[in-house]
Amino acid sequence: MFKKIISCILVLYFAVYAVSLSVSGEEALNISAPSALLMEQETGKVIFAKNAHEKRACASVTKIMTLCLIFEALESGKISYDSIVTASPFAAAAGGSDIWLVEGEQMTVHDLIKAIAVASANDASVAMAEFVSGSEQSFVKSMNEKAKQLGMKDTVFKNCNGLDEDGHLTSAYDVALMSRELMKHDDVFEFTSIWLDYLRDGATQIVNTNKLLKSYDGITGLKTGTTSIAGCCISATAKRDDMHLIAVVLGADNTTDRFNDAAALLNYGFANYSAVTPQKPENNITSVDVSKGMKDTVAVKAEIGGKFLLEKGCESEITSQSTIKENIEAPVTKGTEVGRVLYKCGENVLGEYPIVAVEEVKKINFKDVFLIVLNAFLSL
């Protein structure tokens, strides 16, 4: 009787264990914030979403878009790190988190970016907006134009720093999109990874508002935000091996929940997924036949790039197949697509890439043939 009871308990245990294994990672992931999203940066693939398109205030997470436009201005040569910015009365009066700019005070672009990224300085954000676009109003117009370009359909910006303002809204998905865009500028991580630094020749100490910098392995940034309306928000980015993740949390009740949720999202991504660079196709084709050309073949290559986001354990199951178009006729110009490479994992299509000509093959004509024959005859 005792053995039967033990057997029943064991059967019940393993049945419950099997059910728990069948629960998806998204269902098992407990996020307390009302809205959250986890995205892989290079592919833009969404790994986890909770009310991802719910329109919400995001506080200073707004500054991600502000930094996007600043770094675009830097890369275009419109401004430089050494450019001197003079604080206007409007910038100095921004309020909220700031570095206490005084009207007429001058700072370099480099130091103001540091103030925005590390100290979440509202006054520095307004000063840079005015410097880049002439006025905050003009800068905010550019922010909304950029949002539209990125496909941020849930977003309307009303200011450059994220202070509560009626109609200033975004979503977790849109925050991930603008975070992904900012991450294209590698220099930003030199600022977002700073824990403690100084301004004004050491007179002003600034400490990063992103506490994950001190506790999370691989953290690279990106931006926190807190107001009474927005709650506690963060777009946290972290990189391990070749995978860079973006974890967005909006509307958390407190800072502890904000950081715990972000860490849980990142942990789930790193534990369950990997970013894999596609290898050369199994039947790698280097040349294909050409009819009616001055050459019988043309050299080709597969234009493979980017990465695949895979559940861990699927890496060894990737297959590839190259196919070539039928009856390729000259003329063939360099870059002409002559086929495709398809990558799959089981029945799941991972990606498809073109196979293109890497040289030119002219159409055959009597004059060219005659010259070839003549040159051959003369060389005898």
Provide the annotated active-site residues.
60, 63, 120
Residue 273: which H helix or E strand, with range? strand 273-276
Burial class, 302, CB count within 10 angstroms (exposed 0-12 / middle 13-18 / buried 19+): buried
Q: Which residues pair with 221 in a beta bridge?
A: 237
202: left (phi over 0), alpha (psi -120 to 50) or beta: left
Separation CA 208–CA 119 (nearest Å): 6
Burial class, 224, CB count within 10 angstroms (exposed 0-12 / middle 13-18 / buried 19+): buried
Does residue 78 sit in helix, strand or coil? coil
- Provide the pairing of β-strand 106-108 with 84-86: antiparallel
What is the phi/psi pair of residue 220, to 5°? -120, -15
Separation CA 287–CA 119 (nearest Å): 57
And the tokens for 200? 């004004």
Separation CA 174–CA 178 (nearest Å): 6
Q: Which one-letter amino acid corresponds to residue 92?
A: A
Separation CA 125–CA 107 (nearest Å): 12
Burial class, 220, CB count within 10 angstroms (exposed 0-12 / middle 13-18 / buried 19+): buried
31 near 249, Cβ under 8 Å?
A: yes
Angle between helices 122-133 and 63-76 (to 10 degrees): 40
